[in-house]
Structures are given as structure tokens and as C-alpha cells.
Amino acid sequence: MKRFVIVLAVIIFSFSIFAAENALEIFSWWTGGGEEEGLLALFDLFHKYYPDVEIINAAVAGGAGTNAKAVLKTRMLGGNPPDSFQVHAGMELTDTYVIPGLMEPITWILKDMGVLDKFPKDLIDIVSYKGEVYSIPVNVHRANVVFYNKKIAKEIGMTKEPTTWAEFLMYLDKAQKLGYTGIALGDKNKWTSLHLFESIMLSELGPEKYNKLWKGEASFNDPAIKNALAIMKDVLKYVNSDHSALTWQDATRLVFEGKAFANMMGDWAEGYLKTLGWKPGVDFGWFALPGTQNAFMLVSDTFGLPKNAPHRENAIKWLKLLATVEAQDIFNPIKGSIPARIDADKSKYDIYLQWSMKDFSTKTICPSIIHGSAAPESFATALMDAINIFVTEQNVDKTFKEILWIADDNGYVTD
């Protein structure tokens, strides 16, 4: 009898260990406002294939990873990694995690699946280091987009989307005169003001020069950057007065509620507007920020495999799933992004996303600063702080000087 009890206890103990062992902890910042819906759809798909794996959703709230990135870094440096985590393609991945030796190469996963060539080469390049791939791109977001309320557009007589700053500012002014907020901003989390500024900078520099900045082939000491600050100052005349109390979702919601004409945001706002019940092309329209029609400001969410992932086998299953067309075609139409896989089923995407797909394959791709692709975190954070102060002080000369210091500090050309 005693032996039977011991054997039973051992079985129960092993089973509980096994149960806890069969987990998968996924870290991200997708907690609501259209973002969580996409993530949960991926979890559902994972459970369809692996019903016994318990998914631990370790998401930390805050758009663009405002809070999540710091938590993640502490965990990674403290030797307590999640099984897989959201990270932007580009410097955020390579500089922060790959070069310090915290990630496993996963080229073999894409090779085993035979899908290495099913992702755009340029995208694979920015998730690679020394010839090895380190994360799986799940999507491509476009950052330089303005979403607008079609009903208000009609009221202000906008029959065609603006392509110049003069036209755009004229519509913002008309909207304001009718009692609306021209352009909604929510910079409670500071990143949104740099999100706006980097695209204005792109507009003034043009895509070629903008891209050269990051290769050290163009100087930050360019009147176009100063001019971008002057345009930003003009735009700020038309933002909501409570902008510093609002998140990006709150700002997008002002457009949905008919309180603001437009919102300049990445197309995760498209995902959000759809979860609120709006239809693209019917309730809301969109256009590339004036002057950026020939550019696609790229933001790509990817997932990688940290060294010493507690449930490595499950993490590999997760990564393999993300690399499939099936997962990408379930996730992206909800998230408001286009698939990273080039062979995805275009018919599953709405008219906005088809517009974005077309532009992605025909326009110049430019990496976003604030969403981790163009520059190291030290640069992005310092610039974000400077632009945030600019929103309050609106001192063009002072901020331009600060930008030059920040660029110089980070080894970029400023002569």
C-alpha cells in the first residue's frame, strides 16, 4: 500500500512538472486597441495544432513597446528570457539582443521549412547578422499614413487627398474652423511625437537622403531637417489640446468619434478602426503623409528565439507557425498590417491593405527610427525626448541644434 502511495505521488508530481513544462511564454506589447485581437488569433491557431501547450501571454501594455522594451531588456540581461518575444526588425533586434549574444540563430528553421526565399530579401537582411537570421518577420506595417474621417472630409470639401503640405494644412484649418480637431495626437507616451516628426523629416529630405543618413552618407546638418521642425510647428497648431493625456488609441478614437478630422499614425490604427466597427474606404480614408508618397516607412514586427528559452521546443513550434502563410493571413488582416510572406493570399486583405501591399512593392523602403529599424535605441530615445520637448516649446533653432548633438553623439554625420 505504502509503495502504491509513493508511486502515485511520483506520478502526480511528474505530471505537474510536465504540465508546467508544457508551456510557451510569449512576450509583446499587444494588449488592446486592435493589437491584442491579432495576437489572440495567433494563439488560437497555435492551440489548433498544439492544444496541450499552455500559452502564457506576458504582454506589457504601452504602444510601441514604451514599457515593454525596458521590462524585456531587464529580463534578458537577468537571464530570465521569455520563450519568444516581439522585436522590431533592424537595429532593435541586432544591436540590443543579437550582437550582445543573447539570441539563437534560426536560419535553419526557415531552411527546414523551405521558405527562406518567401520573405523579401531586404527584410531578411535586417533580421540577420553575419549571415544568420535571428527572427521571423510576421508583418510589415506602414508608418507614414494619415487616416481621416470621411464624413468630416466631405464637410470641409475635400474631394481629393492632399499631396502637398499647403493643401493638407488648408484642410486642417478648415476642419478646425468648423469646430473639429484638425489632426489628433496622443503623446502621453512620448513616441507618437517622434512618429509624426520622422515622417515629416522623410517628407522634407526625400527617401534617398533619409536612407543615406543611416549609412553615414548624408549629413544631419541639412536645412530640410530644420524645415521639418518648422512644418511640425505648423501642424501642432491643429492638434487637440489634451494630446499629452492621450494614448495613440485615444487619438485614433477621436477620428472614429467624429471629433477629429485626421490622425497620422502607423497602420495599426487601421486595425484599431476596424475593431471599432469601421470599414476602410467607407467610414475612413487614408493617404501617405504629404511629400512621402514615394516612400514606405517600414515597421516590421518579428519574433525570435532567446538563448536559454525555458520551453525551447515550444518556442520553435511558435516560430515555425509564424513563418507560415496560414498564420500571416490570419494575423495581418486583423492587425492592419501586410504579410511579410510574399506568397500570401492577397484576396484576404481589405482595400487599405491592398493599397499598402502595392506601395510596399513599388516605393522606396525607409526604416523607422522610433520603431527600432533605422538607428540604435540610444539615438531613438534621445531624439524622442528632444522632439517631445519641442512639442511644448516649439523652438525650431534649439531643437535643430539638439538633433545635431544627438546625431554626433551616435556617430552620424553632422558636418
What 8-state DSSP symbol labels residue 64? G
Q: How far is the CB of 266 from ligand GAL (least distance, A)?
A: 6
| Least distance between ligand GAL and beta carbon 64 (Å) | 4
Cβ proximity to ligand GAL: between 61 and 170 the closer is 61
Give the N- to C-terminal CA distance of the chain in Å, as an integer: 85
Minimum Å gap between C-beta 395 and ligand GAL is: 28
Does 92 sit near ligand GAL (CB under 6 A)? Answer: no
Which window, 29-37, 153-161, 162-170, 273-281, contacts ligand GAL (CB under 6 A)? 29-37
Q: Would you count residue 64 as binding ligand GAL (CB under 6 A)?
A: yes
If binding is defined by CB under 6 A, does position 301 make contact with ligand GAL? yes
Burial 345-364 (b: 16+ CB within 10 A, else e): eeeebeebbebbbebbeebe
Closer to ligand GAL at the Cβ: 29 or 165? 29
What nine digits make up the cell of 276? 471599432
CB of 35 to ligand GAL, least distance (A): 5
Instruction: Write phi, then psi, for 353 (nearest 5 degrees).
Output: -70, -30
Tell me how far apart the alpha carbons of residues 180 and 384 are, in angstroms, rounded to a whole number.
28
User: In angstroms, what is the minimal distance from the CB of 396 to ligand GAL?
Assistant: 27
In angstroms, give the least distance from the CB of 154 to ligand GAL.
29
Cα→Cα distances 154→157, 261, 262, 285, Å: 5, 10, 13, 11
C-alpha angle 391-413-374 in degrees, rounded to nearest 5: 60
**Nearest position to ligand GAL, beta carbon:** 63
Grid cell of 241 as nine digits: 489640446
Comparing CB distances to ligand GAL, the nearer of 30 and 261 is 30
| Total residue length of the chain | 415
Grid cell digits, residue 160:
481629393
Q: How far is the CB of 384 from ligand GAL (least distance, A)?
A: 12
User: Of residues 236-275, which lie at the interface with ligand GAL (CB under 6 A)?
Assistant: 266, 268
Site for ligand GAL in 138-157 (CB under 6 A): 141
3-class SS of residue 57 = strand
The C-alpha cell that represents 18 in the structure block? 510536465
Please tell me the count of residues contacting ligand GAL according to CB under 6 A.
Answer: 13
Nearest Cα to Cα of residue 251 among 139, 147, 101, 325: 147
* Contact pattern for ligand GAL over residues 167 through 206, marking x by CB under 6 A: ----------------------------------------
CB 114 → ligand GAL: shortest distance, Å? 27
Query: Which residues make beta-bridge pairs with 129?
Result: 132
Judge contact between 210 and 289, C-beta under 8 A: no
Looking up cell 493617404 gives: 287
- Piece in contact with ligand GAL (CB under 6 A), picked from 13-21, 60-68, 316-324, 389-397: 60-68
Stretch binding ligand GAL (CB under 6 A), from 58-66, 109-117, 325-333, 386-394 = 58-66
Strand-pairing partners, residue 23, are 54
Residue 210 contacts ligand GAL per CB under 6 A: no
Smallest gap, in angstroms, from Cβ of residue 326 to ligand GAL? 20
Radius of gyration of the chain (CA): 23
Q: Which stretch binds ligand GAL (CB under 6 A): 63-71, 117-125, 359-367, 406-414?
A: 63-71
The piece of 2-10, 59-67, 111-119, 348-356 that touches ligand GAL (CB under 6 A) is: 59-67
| DSSP reduced 3-state for 361 | helix
Q: Applying CB under 6 A, does 69 fall inside the site for ligand GAL? A: no
Does residue 35 belong to the site contacting ligand GAL (CB under 6 A)? yes
Q: In Å, how far from its chain's centre is CA 181?
A: 25
Q: Is 374 left (phi over 0), alpha (psi -120 to 50) or beta?
A: alpha
Please select the residue that binds ligand GAL; options are 168, 333, 371, 406, rule is CB under 6 A.
371
Q: Where are the beta strands (DSSP E) in 155-294?
A: 181-184, 260-265, 284-288
331 is an interface residue for ligand GAL by CB under 6 A: no
Q: Which stretch binds ligand GAL (CB under 6 A): 39-47, 62-70, 110-118, 224-232?
A: 62-70
**Which positions lie near ligand GAL, rule CB under 6 A?**
29-30, 35, 63-65, 88, 141, 266, 268, 299, 301, 371
